[in-house]
Amino acid sequence: MIAVSADAGQTWSLPTIPAACNVSFYRSGGIAYGNGAIVITDGGRNACVSTDGGATFSVADLGRDVDSALLFAGGRFTAWGGGQLVTSDDGLTWSSQPVSPAGLAIGPVAASPEGSFVAVRGGWNTWYENQEAYRSTDGVSWEPVAGFPGGHPIVDAAFGYVAPSADCPLP
pLDDT over 90 at 3, yes or no:
no
Residue 126 contacts by C-beta under 8 Å, 6 or more apart in sequence?
105, 107, 120, 132, 153
DSSP states of the chain: ---B-SSTTSS-B-PPPPGGG----SSSBEEEEETTEEEEE-SSSEEEEESSTTS--EEEE-SS---SB-EEETTEEEEEETTEEEEESSSSS-EEEE-BSTT--EEEEEE-TTS-EEEEE-STT-SGGG--EEEESSSSB-EE-TT----SPP-----------SSS---
- pLDDT of 18: 87
In this predicted structure, the answer to whether residue 171 has a pLDDT above a threshold of 80 is no
Reply yes or no on whether the pLDDT at 111 is more than 80.
yes
Q: Does position 24 have pLDDT exceeding 80, yes or no?
A: no
State how far the Cα of 41 lies from the Cα of 116, in Å rounded to an integer: 22
The answer, yes or no, to whether residue 99 has pLDDT greater than 90, is yes
Q: Does the pLDDT value for residue 21 go beyond 60?
A: yes
Q: Could you tell me the CA-to-CA distances from 90 to 39, 47, 130, 151 in Å, in that order?
A: 9, 12, 36, 37
Residue from 136, 166, 161, 130 nearest 148 by CA: 130
Mind listing the pLDDT tens digit for each residue in 124-145? 778 888 889 999 999 999 999 9
CA nearest neighbour of 40 among 77, 95, 82, 73: 77
pLDDT in tens, 43-92: 788 899 999 988 899 999 999 988 888 899 889 999 999 899 999 999 99
- Percent of the chain whose pLDDT exceeds 70: 96
pTM: 0.85
Beta-carbon contacts of residue 118 (< 8 Å; ≥ 6 apart): 109, 110, 133, 134, 135, 145, 157, 159
